[in-house]
Amino acid sequence: MHDIEALFEAMRNAIPAGPVKIKEAVDSGKKVVGCYCAFTPYEVIRAAGAIPVSLCSTSDKPIAAGEEHLPRNLCPLIKSSYGFALTDTCPYFHFCDMVIGETTCDGKKKMYELLDRLRPTHVMQLPQTYFGVDALNVWQAEIESLARKLETALGVTITEDDLSREIKRRNEERRVMEDFYELSKLNPPLLSGQELHLVNEFFKISFGDPRALDMIRELRTKLQENWEAGERRVSAGKQRIVVTGCPTGKSLEKVFSAIEENGGVIVAFENCGGIKPNYEMVNEALPPYEALAVKYLGIPCSCMSPNPKRLDLLETLVDEYKANGVVDIILQACHTYNVESFLVRERITAQGGKGVSYISVETDYSQNDVEQLSTRMGAFMEMIA
C-alpha cells in the first residue's frame, strides 16, 4: 500500500507556507495580483507575467475591524475580506500590487470602493445574466479592459499568443482537478470530503506550479491503486452528500465536520472552491478573449438571474456522484444564495423518487453554532437513512 498520509501531510504543510512562496516571488521581481472570486480570469493575469492569488476572506478574526467601516448586518465574507486588508493581516494582500474585484453583489462592489484606498482595485462590471449576445459582448469588453489595465499598471504587453498559452495551462489545471474529483464517484469514495477540501485548498495555493499538479496526480494514482488493492479510507454505508451554496473556507469547515461526524461523507463540493469553476474548459478553438468571456460568464453563481445552470449542474452531480442528500450552505445576509435556496430545494427534492434529500444551513464565520450544526446534521443523516 502507498503511504497516503505522507502526501496529505505534505499538502497540509504547503498551505501555511504559501505566503513564503509569494514573498520569494516578489523578492525576485514578480508582480502579484489579488483576487476574491471565481469570475476573475487568471489567464489574463498570468499572461501579464503576474501571479494571481486568492485573498484571505474566510476567518471571523478580522470581522470586528471590518465592522468599523462596514455595517454589521453585512455578509461575513465581505467583512472578513475588508477586515483582513484593513488590519494588514492577510499576507497575500500585503504582497499584492493590485486587486481585481467584480460586481457579484451589492455589498462587495461597495466594499471595493473602500478597498481601493488600501490597494489599487480594478472592478470588473459583471453582467447579471449568461443569456444573450449583449451580456457576452459586455463581459468580453470587461476582460479586454482588464488586460489594458494590467498592461498599464505592470508595464507589460499582453498578446493573444500569451493568452492562448495561459488558457492551455489553466485548462490543464482544471482537467487535473476534474480527474481528481472523479475519485469520489466510486462507492465507497476513495477519500473523505474533508480530505477533498484539503486538496482544493492546496490547489488554491499552488500558484500554477507544475510540481503541485504532479503531486495531485500522484495522490490520485496512489489513492486509486490502494482502493483497487482493497484499502477503504471511507467505510461503506455513509450517506453521500453534495455540498453547495456560498463559497467555503476555513471557518465553514465546521459544517464539513458536522456532516462527516454524523454518518455522512461529502462526495462533491459544487461551491466556487470546488467543481463550479472547473467543470467547463475554456474553448481553445475560439479567439482568446471571446473564449474567456464565454467560459467565465457561464459560471453558475447565484448572482446570475435566472440561474438554471446551477440547478442543472446540481442535478447532474447528484446523479453522477450517487448522492443521497444535498447540504446548501448559506452565509448570513447573502441574499442571492438565500433566495435561490427555494429553487434548489424544489429541484433536488423533485427527484424524490431517487431518495435525494435537502437541507439548508444558514451560518456565519463564528464557531458558536458548532453543536447546533452537529445536531441538525445528525437528524438529517437519520432522515436520509
- Digit-by-digit pLDDT tens for the chain (385 residues) are 899 999 999 999 999 999 999 999 999 999 999 999 999 999 999 999 999 999 999 999 999 999 999 999 999 999 999 999 999 999 999 999 999 999 999 999 999 999 999 999 999 999 999 999 999 999 999 999 999 999 999 999 999 999 999 999 999 999 999 999 999 999 999 999 999 999 999 999 999 999 999 999 999 999 999 999 999 999 999 999 999 999 998 899 999 999 999 999 999 999 998 999 999 999 999 999 999 999 999 999 999 999 999 999 999 999 999 999 999 999 999 999 999 999 999 999 986 556 699 999 999 999 999 999 999 999 999 999 8
| Distance between CA atoms of residues 294 and 282, nearest Å | 8
Of the candidates 209, 110, 249, 72, the residue with the CA atom closest to the CA atom of residue 217: 209
Residue-level pLDDT at 385: 87
Residue 131 identity: F
Measured distance CA(163)–CA(267) in Å, rounded: 34
101 Cβ partners below 8 Å, 6+ apart? 36, 37, 108, 109, 112, 115, 121, 122, 123, 124
Task: Please check whether residue 43 is in contact with residue 281, taking contact to mean a CB–CB distance below 8 angstroms.
Answer: no
- Residue 295's nearest CA partner among 279, 271, 306 is 279
Long-range own/partner contacts, residues 378-384 (CB < 8 A, 24 or more apart): 378/262, 378/263, 380/262, 380/264, 380/325, 380/327, 381/239, 381/259, 381/262, 381/263, 381/264, 381/325, 382/263, 383/357, 384/239, 384/324, 384/325, 384/355, 384/357
- Looking at residue 133, what is its pLDDT? 97
The answer to whether residues 188 and 182 touch, using CB atoms and an 8 Å cutoff, is: no
- pTM of the predicted structure, to 2 decimals: 0.96
Q: Grid coordinates representing 374?
A: 452537529
The closest alpha carbon to 124, from 194, 49, 39, belongs to 39
Per DSSP bridges, beta strands 31-35 and 98-102 are parallel
